[in-house]
């Protein structure tokens, strides 16, 4: 699925109320609980001209891309490693998981795959920006690895979001 089709699907679920409704921290939300998707058409990424919602988002993206690029060393030791993982903490608090919690890169069948676990995501503020971040992380590591292995191909980006939500205006 490409990003345009995915956004259409999500918007339709929110607009037709094919989602949960609950109150979290005194705010009403519509929620897609345990939402999973696969991006397998690279032409839909990256999303152009996506600005961060905050300075913190921009800093987080820079850190994530830097960490993704550093993962090449795991693949140099073992092409089929399962150790190429980035795990983020919320505002560097070791007790709390970041909203974008875990990224695992893995090579199988000569394709690079990225699996992502997202704890919580505000659809309206972060969905496009975060997907752009995933794409940039993937692209940067792919460039490094494909320079060393010209047979490497694009795989998939697999995303699991526990709470994909939209705030309901009062």
The CATH number of whichever domain residue 74 belongs to comes to 3.30.572.10
pLDDT digits (tens, 9 = 90+) for 58-68: 999 999 999 99
Which uninterrupted H or E stretch holds 63?
Answer: helix 55-70
Domain-embedded: residue 18: no
Number of domains in the chain: 1
Domain-embedded: residue 6: no
Buried b (16+ CB within 10 A) or exposed e, 91-110: eeeeeebbbbbbbbbbbeee
* Whole-angstrom distance, CA of residue 40 vs CA of residue 75: 22
* Band (45; pLDDT cuts 50, 70, 90): low
Domain-embedded: residue 17: no
Rg over alpha carbons for the chain, rounded to the nearest Å, is 17
Domain-embedded: residue 14: no
Range of 90's domain? 33-162
DSSP state of 43: G
Domain-embedded: residue 58: yes
Rounded to the nearest angstrom, the gap between the alpha carbon of residue 156 and the centroid of all alpha carbons in its chain is: 12
Domain-embedded: residue 111: yes
User: What is the value of pTM for the model shown?
Assistant: 0.91
Which uninterrupted H or E stretch holds 101?
Answer: strand 93-108
């Amino acid at each position: 699925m490409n990003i345009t089709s995915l956004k259409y699907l999500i918007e339709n679920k929110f607009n037709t109320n094919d989602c949960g409704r609950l109150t979290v921290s005194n705010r009403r939300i519509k929620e897609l609980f345990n939402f999973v998707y696969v991006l397998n058409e690279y032409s839909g990424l990256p999303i152009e001209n996506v600005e961060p919602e905050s300075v913190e988002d921009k800093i987080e993206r820079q850190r994530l891309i830097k960490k993704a690029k550093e993962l090449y060393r795991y693949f140099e030791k073992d092409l089929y490693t399962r150790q190429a993982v980035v795990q983020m903490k919320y505002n560097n608090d070791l007790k709390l998981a970041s909203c974008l919690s875990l990224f695992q890169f893995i090579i199988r069948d000569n394709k690079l795959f990225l699996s992502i676990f997202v704890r919580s995501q505000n659809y309206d503020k972060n969905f496009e920006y975060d997907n752009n971040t995933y794409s940039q992380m993937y692209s940067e590591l792919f460039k490094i690895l494909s320079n060393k292995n010209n047979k490497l191909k694009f795989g998939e980006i697999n995303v699991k979001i526990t709470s994909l939500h939209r705030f309901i205006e009062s």
